[in-house]
Amino acid sequence: MARICYVTGKSRTTGSVIHRRGIRKKSGGIGTHIAKISKRTFRPNLQRVRIKLPSGQVKRVWVSAKALKAGKVEKVV
């Protein structure tokens, strides 16, 4: 099962890690240079919670922390 937010639809996004080498000009060097660029993923802060659906049914789903904090779903304890 993919970890996607039930409410907002948030999922993983891709980005890069940039590795730099050298000493900054400010510190007396000749400047930094890009040595390598690696792929990485940014994962949303998902929580597995029991929520109450509009029909009154209780369901356990993945919901982002931002949606929980905003009160977009009613959490069942």
Assigned domain for 5 exists: no
pLDDT score at 1: 61
Instruction: Count the neighbouring beta carbons within 10 Å of the beta carbon of residue 50.
Output: 14
Q: 6-60, pLDDT tens digit by residue?
A: 999 999 999 999 999 999 999 999 999 999 999 999 999 999 999 999 899 999 9
Domain assignment present for 28? yes
Backbone angles phi, psi at 57, to 5 degrees: -75, 145
Q: What share of the chain is helix, strand, coil (3-state, %, to 5)?
A: 10, 45, 45
- CB distance 73 to 48 below 8 Å: no
Q: What average pLDDT does the segment 58-67 reach?
A: 96
Q: What is the pTM of this model?
A: 0.75
In a domain, residue 64? The reply is yes
- Domains contained in the chain, number: 1
| Exposure string over 18-40, b if 16+ CB within 10 A, otherwise e | eeeeeeeeeeeeeeeeeeeeeee
**What's 42's domain CATH number?**
2.30.170
Q: What tens digit of pLDDT does each residue of 35-49 get? A: 999 999 999 999 999
What residues make up the domain containing 29? Answer: 13-75
pLDDT for the residue 77: 84
Whether 60 is covered by a domain: the verdict is: yes
